[in-house]
Structure 1
Amino acid sequence: MLKQLNIKEFTVFEEANLRFGKQLNVIVGENGAGKTHLLKLAYAGLATCWEEGNKPHLAPSAPTKTILQKSLADKLIGVFRPETLGRLVRRKPGRGRCDIKLTFTDAAHNLAFGFATNSKTEVGIELLPEQWLQTAPTYLPTRELLTIYPNFLAVYENHYLEFEETWRDTCRLLGGLMRKGPKEKRIRELLAPLETAMQGSIELDKSGRFYLRNANGLMEMPLVAEGLRKLGMLARLISTGALLDQGYLFWDEPEANLNPSLIKQVARTIVELSNSGIQVFIATHSLFLLRELEILLADKPLDTAFFGLHASDNGITVQQGASLYDIGDITALEESLQQSDRYLALED
């Protein structure tokens, strides 16, 4: 499990030290506060250490600086899409440098690296992992990917596209084979509520197109409501086993384009996945989702950490704790509460 992320001078952050919960981690903040940056940074580090270790000619080998300094830089550029690597250093007068450290429960996976504003294609490795990661992290962007899946990987690999590399990575997982064997029962348990909400199941045909199969037959994915497509993407990753074994899920704004009923289902699935051995990281500014998580956690406590992102004169600061009440006031949440008060006042 990822225990801690320490960053200095990275994008909007002067310095931040995030101590993660073993099961669920919730990052809350305004638009532009850096929620997605934190998810992508942690994901890029984990994904690099898994991808390199799973290349056939490297699998038996231990990590080396030569491999990581280039592959990690490539991953950061692919995930964030800056013009150069150095553009990820926090903007301020003169030259600067950012430093990043990922600390794991198993110290053999610990990684520290840095780069300066003039860096283009390599990072400096300060602490080299002793082992590659054995499980792939999964990143769910705000947009669903089932509709773009047909031929997307082939086009992405052979042409330069201004799409984040997280899209390619997730599409690779979406195309995985259905998981069979002793864990099928657990897969069905996780899938059942999602398929009830979708009123159907997700199928991938030989042409590479996804469909929703329901009582009326097969429906092309572009004709399915976007909120249901997001649930479908989650269901597909569960059915292939990508979200089953010990691993990591990074989910940016799970509530995007979902109605409250579906947000409730997403919250239940997040808690179930967290309770199944997946370390979950979500970024949100939805009061409805946060309250739903609080309700569920009251009945099923998890090792959870909350992080509030706040603007200051020195960039974004991070306030953290075991509950939503420990992370300070978030304007987006306060606005939602005030709107409720104004609405109730109309009835007085």
Structure 2
Amino acid sequence: MLSRLEIKQFTVFRELNLSCSPGLNVVVGENSSGKSHLLKLLYALIATSASAGKSAHAQPPTKAYLQKAYGEKLLGVFRPESLGRLVSRRQGRERCEVAVCFDHQVLDVGISFATNSKTDVQVDTLPSAWEAQSPLYLPTRELLTIYPNFVAIYEGHYLEFEETWRDTCIHLGGLLQKGPRTLQTAKLIEPIEQALGGKVVLEKNGRFYLRVPGGGNMEMPLVAEGHRKLAMLARLIANGVIQAQGYLFWDEPEANLNPRLIRQVAQVIHGLVLAGVQVFIASHSFFLLKELELLSRRQPVPQTFIGLYWQEGAAGVSCEQAEVLPGLNHIVALDEELAQYDRELQGGA
């Protein structure tokens, strides 16, 4: 499990120190406050280690290998013109420093790079073992409609798509688990399939369909966008990927979903935490935050809420943490909801 993150001079963050919950970690904040950047940074570092550890010819970690591997993954995930573009923008040369700590100290890693860095990082803290648990990153948009041939095209051409899309498409193409569904899988997926009105299938032509009882297969582009996002989640549960990963990073789970479907997503997130997955989500939705809080009241899970906000006079984004949602003082979604209510009381002014 990831336990702590320390950042200096990374994108919008001048300095940031986070303590992570072993269960649910919810990052909230307005646009451009760095929510997605946090998730992508953690994903890139963990994915690099997990991928190297699963190699058929895996060797113990070395600085020579990791300074290149970490750099390549950060470039692929963030898509800057050079690695130095991820350093906080100020006049003169600056240096970004990142330290990630885990429950097992053998996984701890520290990297740094400067504004003039091109592709490689400096490894300041070298892990002595590879991460055994793989991370999964779910982007804001659904990927089922672009899945056909996407990985092959991505590998053979330069595309301006984040590497997280390729990684997730590889997971989507994983084979379904053999035999009857486990109780855990059934509990997670059956409410989603009920909401979709069918099951998600991958046919031999490489395309995903929604198989509707009595209605045959419906092409994914014909399925409502919100349902397609739910369908992606159903597929990852059905093939066992999402339950098998040690870390789930999910950017705006609520995007393009109505409140009823958001409740389904909240239940899946809560169920994954109960199953031992460390979950990180970035969200704008006060409805989703409240649903997660209500679920945790009924069946408690370890959790932390991370609020990011721009503070007047500060050089970068500031951060606050709390174990419960009301413990945060800066929740833009709640502030705007209350402001809207005040306008209504004032006659809509």
CA contact (8 A) 2:136 2:245 kept: no
TM, length-normalised to structure 1? 0.96
Does the CA contact (< 8 Å) of 2:308 and 2:318 recur in 1? yes
Asked whether the equivalents of residues 285 and 333 of structure 1 are also in contact (C-alpha less than 8 Å), the reply is no
1:28 corresponds in structure 2 to 28
Q: Name the aligned partner's letter for residue 284 of structure 2.
A: H
| SS of residue in 1 equivalent to 2:242 | coil
Instruction: Please point out which of 118, 126, 149 is paired with 1:120.
Output: 118
Find out whether 1:326 has 2:324 as its counterpart. no
**1:221 paired residue number:** 220
> Does the CA-based 8 Å contact 1:321-1:327 persist in structure 2?
yes
- The question of whether the paired residues in 2 share the 8 Å contact of 1:81 and 1:162 is answered with yes
Gaps of at least 5 residues in structure 2 are: none
8 Å contact kept, 1:246–1:277: no
5+ residue gaps, structure 1: none
CA 344–195 in structure 1, closer or farther in 2 if over 3 Å, else same: farther
2:277 matched residue in structure 1: 278
**Counterpart residue identity of residue 6, structure 1:** E
CA–CA separation in structure 2 for the residues paired with 1:209 and 1:235: 15
Q: CA–CA distance in 1 between the matches of 2:334 and 2:34? A: 16
| C-alpha spacing 1:146/1:246, structure 2 compared with 1 (3 Å) | closer
- Name the counterpart of 2:71: 73
Q: How high is the sequence identity, in percent, across the aligned residues? A: 56
Distance 2:195 2:345 in 1: 31
1:84 aligns with one of 82, 85, 88: 82
Give the aligned CA root-mean-square deviation in angstroms. 1.5
Structure 1 window deviating more from structure 2 (161-170 vs 131-140): it is 131-140
| 1:182-212 superposed Cα distances (whole Å, 9 cap, x missing partner) | 9733212211111111111110011110000
User: C-alpha deviations, 1:59-102, integer Å up to 9, x for none?
Assistant: xx211111110010000000000000000000111100011011
Between 276-285 and 184-193, the greater mean CA deviation after superposition: 184-193
Shift in Å, 1:293: 1.2
Q: What secondary structure is seen at the aligned counterpart in 2 of 1:177?
A: coil
1:53 corresponds to: 53
Alignment of 1:332-343 (within 5 A): 332-343=333-344
What amino acid maps onto 1:37 in structure 2? Answer: H
TM-score when normalising by structure 2: 0.96
**Cα separation, 1, equivalents of 2:236 and 2:128:** 29
Name the residue aligned to 1:192.
Answer: 190
Distance 1:221 1:345 in 2: 45
Matched position secondary structure for 1:309: strand
Give the Cα separation in 2 of the matches to 1:270 and 1:47.
Answer: 20
Q: CA deviation at 1:138?
A: 0.4
May I ask how many residue pairs the two structures share in their alignment?
A: 345
Three-state SS of the structure 2 residue aligned to 1:33 is: coil
CA contact (8 A) 2:135 2:245 kept: no
1:248-263 maps to which residues of 2 (within 5 A)? Answer: 248-263=247-262
1:137 counterpart (135, 138, 141): 135
- For 1:324, give the aligned amino acid: L
**Structure 1 position 340, deviation (Å):** 3.3
CA-CA distance at 1:273 after TM superposition: 0.8
Contact residue 23 and residue 304 of structure 1 kept, 8 A:
yes
Aligned to 2:98: 100
1:179 to partner: Cα distance: 1.9
Q: Counterpart of 2:263?
A: 264
Q: Kindly report structure 1 stretches of 4+ aligned residues shifted beyond 6 Å.
A: none
Q: Is the contact made by 1:6 and 1:17 (CA closer than 8 Å) also made in structure 2? A: yes
SS in 1 for 2:209: strand
**Which amino acid counterpart does residue 232 of structure 2 have in structure 1?**
M
Q: Distance in 1 between matches of 2:244 and 2:345?
A: 46
Q: Distance in 2 between matches of 1:199 and 1:112?
A: 47
